[in-house]
């Protein structure tokens, strides 16, 4: 992967992380009926602090606390998926390879703070 492609992927991963954080905030606001308590604010801060990603040669693992949120394809050499495809987690170390849930490079994906959406 060239430096320009790597920078683009990092920028889009940052945007994905922000979208996940925003979905958690919106869900919390809905549950709290638009008035955040100190506990809500603490929970939001903890969620945001624990949301990270780890770059791998094939996949980028998105980690939420001690769980895997999902994976993003990080190669152009996959026979089934294209670079940037969002995949659900099958477990800690591997994605579910049945279908992509969107693509961070193409945009227009829909996710929740709990993970990539199920197939419809």
Tokens of 40: 């809500």
**What local confidence, expressed as pLDDT, does residue 42 receive?**
97
- Among 37, 75, 42, which residue's Cα sits nearest to residue 59? 75
**What local confidence, expressed as pLDDT, does residue 120 receive?**
56
Q: Nearest-5° angle of CA 87, CA 69, CA 92?
A: 85
Contact between 52 and 16 under an 8 Å Cβ cutoff? The reply is no
**What local confidence, expressed as pLDDT, does residue 4 receive?**
75
Collect the ranges in the chain with pLDDT lower than 70.
1-3, 120
Range of the domain at 103: 3-116
**What local confidence, expressed as pLDDT, does residue 49 receive?**
97
**What local confidence, expressed as pLDDT, does residue 107 receive?**
85
Contact between 74 and 57 under an 8 Å Cβ cutoff? The reply is yes
Compute the Cα dihedral for 24, 49, 87, 106 and give only its sign.
Answer: positive
Number of domains the chain contains: 1
**What local confidence, expressed as pLDDT, does residue 81 receive?**
97
Q: What is the DSSP string of 39-75?
A: HHHHHHHHHHHHEEEEE-SSEEEEEETTEEEEEEE--
């Amino acid at each position: 992967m060239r430096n320009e492609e790597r920078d683009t992927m990092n920028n889009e991963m940052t945007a994905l992380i922000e979208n996940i954080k925003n979905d958690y905030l919106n869900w919390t606001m809905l549950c709290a009926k638009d008035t955040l308590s100190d506990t809500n604010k603490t929970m939001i801060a903890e969620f945001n602090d624990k949301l990270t990603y780890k770059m791998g040669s094939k996949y980028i693992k998105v980690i939420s606390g001690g769980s895997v949120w999902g994976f993003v394809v990080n190669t152009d050499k996959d026979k089934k998926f294209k670079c940037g495809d969002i995949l659900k987690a099958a477990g800690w170390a591997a994605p579910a390879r049945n279908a992509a849930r969107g693509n961070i490079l193409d945009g227009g994906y829909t996710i929740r703070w709990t993970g990539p959406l199920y197939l419809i």
